[in-house]
Structure 1
Amino acid sequence: MSDQNTKPKASIDSMPAIEKAAILLMSLGEDNAAEVLRHMGPKEVQKIGLSMAKLQNVQKDQVEAVMSDFMQVISNQTALGVGADGYIRKMLVNALGEDKAGTLVDRILTGGNTTGLDTLRWMDARSVSDMIRFEHPQIQAIVIAYLDPDQAAEALKYFDERVRLDIVMRIASLESVQPHAMKELNDILEKQFAKQTGSASTDLGGSKCAADIMNFLDTNVESALMEAIKEVDEDLAQEIQDLMFVFDNLADVDDRGIQALLREVSSESLILALKGADEIVKEKIFGNMSKRAAELLRDDLEAKGP
């Protein structure tokens, strides 16, 4: 009996931590696993997703041993890894949304090889900007548009103002990129980044993409860039501006969304943002804080002055 009880524990002693985490998430169910993944960064999600995809013949005693480390009880659980593809796809879509989960699922389920343009999404912004600095402006625009908005905004900081304007204008004018063009671009990004692009054209760029990127730029950079776009194309500038999320838009965000934001933003950033905010937005923020926290925030705002 003693041997039987110690065997499951012994069978996971040499198991990598990432594999234990994968077993745990596979055991939680799609919704709970998705909730956990929401608190992870993209690279963490990729690693653990790949580990989940590789799980095979995980026995019930191993699952119980892993769960016991988290002080939980698992029952009626059989081998994992059977038909895991559908589970992983649903879980990642729940966690990340359809758009972000799409390419990630494909990488995980085809062996986790990150190639081509997708590789750039896992690089730091400075490296991306250095890689495309001397490429044709249209190539620069396609690459920047392909990045997540926050990474794209960070990469734009490493270009001078004239080049930034050109890139954002080109992004706003993009609609889709044909497969042959994407293939040529992958070749330009060196052989190790080459990838199979498929036959469908790739939706890329547009005013919304430009607006999303500009949302992540520093205020002074964003303002200067917006003014420059207005000088070239006033209608396009207005379209981009209409699509941008400004702080006063928070008045339309539900309480759950406000509370999620407050968990992520620092006190200093919140104070800075609220100094010029509409009174409706301020009250919305105060109403989603504890009475004590709201009082402290009001005091800090008064102390900082207008």
Structure 2
Amino acid sequence: MSGKQKLSGKEKAAVLLITLGSQKSAEIFKHLNEEEIEELTLEIANMRMVSPEEKQMVLENFYELCLAQEYISEGGVGYAKDILEKALGSDKAVDIISRLTASLQVRPFEFARKVDPNQLLNYMQNEHPQTIALVLAYLGSSQSAQVLAKLPTDKQAEVAKRIATMDRTSPEVIKEVERVIEAKFSSMVSQDYTTAGGIDSIVAILNAVDRGTEKYIMEELELQDIELSEEIRKRMFVFEDIITLDNRSIQRFIREIDNNQWAIALKGASDEVKESIFGNMSKRLVEMIKEDMEFMGPVRLKDIEEAQQNIVNIIRKLEEEGEIVTPRGGDEVVV
């Protein structure tokens, strides 16, 4: 691959992963879907040589885009362009902003991200649940959680359901909703037409609300759509979240799980999760589980995920019984 050739976006991503090294690249892969991972893996495998100049160029481009994205989050596109012009010159600033909006995109309702949740609530609480759901799906989970928790109770579950079942929304609809909401705040907004909503979106929001709000919404959802409520509940606490638990809670649920299940579940666990688990076990038990992991050989991903989900179900059961506490947004911690 010659440094004089213009690299495609996929090639740049591959060069970036190669430059960052295997450990950091593995962490990035956790946030990609299977198709993206397969494409990048193939790209990396077919890449025979990367020159120092190409590595430097890709790193500089990546840094510039991250910097511009941070500026946009702080003050919008105009603010980012102004800062970049002062630092890099007008032409360079325009180039970076253009590449950013074309690839990473500026999310809809960006103006609302800078609005206090209470003020946002005042303007939106009388809107249709679908409108509220669309806006909250594009905001940060913490901000959306605060708004959702303070909505009238008759709207909370309805909005949560609409976020969970939301898929793609047409650009025309987003544009019209933005126009109406923007007019209320008399703010400038940069538009894009990305996908928002879905199960992951409402799970992130519910993970950030207080338990009382979560409990009410989940109970209402169970009455309205039992399958949807079960799917959301299954994702409310994931196996990797074990690292957020205190040692006493970890020690409590460890007693409920047999060694074979631990051996399978930990086969696909991160080093952080393993450290959290092994750090709360006896030395003898750790040795037994590690021996089981070594001698069982390769394990199907499906079996690993099933074992991890069984452990998560036990954790949630113990939490519901008040025996352990999982850290959640909106909770007050009493020592």
TM-score w.r.t. length of structure 2? 0.48
2:249 to 272, 277, 292: 277
1:215: which partner in 2?
207
- Matched residue SS, 1:205: coil
**Residue of structure 2 equivalent to 1:250:** 241
| Counterpart among 224, 227, 230 of residue 232 in structure 1 | 224
Consecutive unaligned residues of structure 2, counting only runs of 5 or more, are: 1-58, 255-272, 280-332
> Aligned to 2:198, which of 201, 206, 220?
206
Do the aligned partners of 1:178 and 1:202 also contact (CA within 8 Å) in 2?
no
Residue 83 of structure 2 corresponds to residue 83 of structure 1:
no
CA contact (8 A) 2:81 2:94 kept: no
Match of 2:84 in 1: 53
**Cα distance in structure 2, aligned partners of 1:205 and 1:305:** 33
The whole-number CA distance in structure 2 between the counterparts of 1:175 and 1:31 is: 29
What SS does the aligned partner of 1:189 have? helix
For 1:102, give the aligned amino acid.
Answer: Q
Residue identity (%): 24
User: Residue type of the partner of 1:103?
Assistant: V
1:124-143 paired onto structure 2 within 5 Å: 124-143=116-135
Contact 2:110–2:190 under 8 Å retained in 1: no
CA distance in 1, matches of 2:190, 2:240: 40
Give the counterpart letter for 2:151 in structure 1. F
String of CA shifts for 1:239-271, please: whole Å, max 9, x gaps. 21233344x5335xxxxxx6xxxxxxxxxxx6x
In the alignment, structure 1 residue 102 sits paired with structure 2 residue 93: no
User: Residues 188 and 88 of structure 1: is their aligned pair in 2 closer, same or farther, counting only changes over 3 Å?
Assistant: closer
User: 1:213-263 deviations in whole A, cap 9, x for unaligned?
Assistant: 1111123322332222112211101221233344x5335xxxxxx6xxxxx
Give the drift of 1:172: 1.1
Report the secondary structure of 2:151's partner residue.
Answer: coil
Give the aligned residue type for 1:231: L
- Give, in whole Å, the separation in 1 of the partners of 2:218 and 2:191: 33
2:138 maps to which of 140, 146, 170: 146
Closer/same/farther in 2, CA of residues 186 and 46 from structure 1, 3 Å limit: closer
Q: Return closer, same or farther for 1:84/1:286 CA change in 2, 3 Å cut-off.
A: farther
CA distance in 2 between counterparts of 1:34 and 1:285 reads 38
Deviations, residues 37-66 of structure 1 (Å, cap 9, x unaligned): 99999427979734443227x6xxxxxxxx
User: Residues 29 and 88 from structure 1, CA distance in 2 versus in 1: closer, same or farther, beyond 3 angstroms?
Assistant: farther
Letter of the 2:231 partner, please give it: E
1:62-103 Cα distance to aligned partner (Å, 9 max, x none): xxxxxxxxxxxxxxxxxx55434555678x89xxxx99x521
CA distance in 2, matches of 1:158, 1:143: 15
C-alpha distance 277-39 of structure 1, shift in aligned 2 (>3 A): farther
Aligned length: 204
Q: Secondary structure at the match of 1:55?
A: helix
Determine if contact 1:150/1:216 at 8 Å carries over to the other structure.
yes
Residues 72, 80 of structure 2: 8 Å contact kept: no
> Which residue of 57, 74, 84 maps to 1:43?
74
Matches within 5 A, 1:156-175: 156-175=148-167
Aligned partner letter, 2:171: P
The alignment yields a C-alpha RMSD, in angstroms, of: 4.4
**Greater relative CO, 1 or 2 (CA 8 Å, sep 6+):** 2
CA distance, structure 2, for counterparts of residue 190 and residue 39 of structure 1: 22
Per the alignment, do residues 38 and 174 of structure 1 end up closer, same or farther by CA in structure 2, a change over 3 Å counting? closer
Q: What is the TM-score normalised by the length of structure 1?
A: 0.52
Task: Supply the distance in 2 between the matched residues of 1:184 and 1:171 (Cα, whole angstroms).
Answer: 18
Unaligned runs of at least 5 residues, structure 1: 1-27, 59-79, 105-115, 252-257, 259-269, 288-303
Matched-pair contact (CA < 8 Å) for 1:129–1:155: yes
